[in-house]
Amino acid sequence: MNYSRRPTRDRQQSTYGSIMKYVSLLMVLLYFGFGLYVLLSNPQQIPFPKEYKYILGGLLLFYGIIRFVRAYQQYFKKSRRYDED
């Protein structure tokens, strides 16, 4: 028997996981970039009062940071239960 090949389901899950890793990083960049855009835009680009722009931009930056931390913990941080071996 050949045990070196993974079953098809494991291969599909690992492909899905690697795609989701890059999609989550793309979303982090989009939230962070849009937050910076809202904060640094002039009044002609986004006609909101300054207070609303600061709130919206700050929330987008904060949510981008939260998404980054979650993506890092889920996809990039090694599991500690395997470190005992």
Are 69 and 25 in contact by the 8 Å Cβ rule? The answer is: no
78 vs 25, 49, 74, CA distance in Å? 17, 44, 9
Q: Which domain holds residue 40?
A: 34-77
Report the chain's C-alpha Rg in angstroms.
20
Q: Residues 24-67: pLDDT tens digits?
A: 999 999 999 999 999 999 999 999 999 999 999 999 999 999 99
The answer to whether position 71 is within a domain reads yes
pTM recorded for the entire structure: 0.73
- Residue 60 counted as domain residue: yes
Asked whether residue 51 is domain-assigned, the answer is yes
Sole residue written with tokens 């970039």 = 33
- pLDDT score, position 68: 96
